[in-house]
Structure 1
Amino acid sequence: MIIKELCAENLSRLFSLKPEEVSRVELCDNLAAGGTTPSYGVIKEAAQLLHEKGISLATMIRPRGGNFVYNDIELRVMEEDILKAVELESDALVLGLLTQDNRLDSEAIEQLLPATQGLPLVFHMAFDFIPKDEQKQTIDDLIDLGFSRILLHGSPLKGDIFKNIDHIKDLISHANGRIDMLLGGGVTATNYQELVQKTGANQVHGTAIITVTA
């Protein structure tokens, strides 16, 4: 079974969703900046709307656009946003934290873990910025930290995802079912089946992963 996740910027696309079309929604704000944390009200209404349909909700936790290196104040903001997202019945939390040299910031993640209260964690496309020769070890580290899913494109350049097929296949092979690998960045309703066939992935993500009318 292929799990399709719709990336949604607000509520407008959620009303017509059907559970047979999409299993999950990643909810964020400000897609032009790569996605940031949606407002309290948007999370609340989205959770109620989606759960009534039997669709799960993954909430983006990202205080701003730009890089993924966060200072102490930003980490406190993320912690508060996590607590609210949990309170509002999000089914998963989507976040990504890196050091200045684009390595996994395990220390910052561990600081946020208590606030997550055991909710499933997704490491977003910040993963693509980690040096390729360290990504397999990062997969292992994310498993150890309790993450259940990684969203990746295969390259930080965000070009044609089909150019990254070999690298994605290698990472999926290394993950070996220990953590879900979710493919995004140029994945659409018209190409996801070919992408799944060529990589062995079974989860896909995007703003155009299904055709939805507002």
Structure 2
Amino acid sequence: MTTTTLAPALDDAALDLLFHEARSVHTFAEGAVDPAEITAAYETLRWAPTAMNISPLRLTVVPVGAPRERLARHMAEGNRAKTLAAPLTVVAATDPGFHTRLDTLAPTRTGLAERLETQPEQRAEMARTNGLLQVGYLLLALRARGLAVGPMGGFDADALDADLHAASGWRSLLVVNVGRAAAPDGTHPRAGRLSADDVVVTLG
């Protein structure tokens, strides 16, 4: 008889940290955040799944000072001040040239890199879909390290990429402010969520 061993589940405290009590934060407490936190978060999230392990997420860390002011020029007006004030900011992007790393990431996918080389539109779609998936992992990895996050989509992506990613060709997805929440929590009152009854359908 085959026995199944269940993986240990996270306890309520961990689930609160990641989900139940976690909030998107717009106002952070004073105090710098070491850029090494982003490196550590990535070292965790890189093991989470993407399609064929293509792993297209790329991260541009933007510290306070001239680099942040440069980034802020591309943010929407409503996001500019909070981006300048955040302890640390990260531009989450994708690499449309992810296929050039498939010898490391997917060595058993013989010929895939060569096929994708001639399919830039398919590469861009794959990179965006899987990059957004990895951004979700990034937010959870940062929360798991005790940090608060404020992801934003309000910015001029084309101008940002022309300025910050011209050499790499990366394409920005979201800008994420990172820090520790200001007391009491630096957030607006929490909005409602749809229940499982509204969104989960089991086929019979």
**TM-score interval, normalised by the smaller of the two chains:** under 0.3
Larger Rg over CA atoms: 2
TM-score scaled by structure 1? 0.25
Higher normalized contact order (CA 8 Å, seq sep 6+, divided by chain length): 2
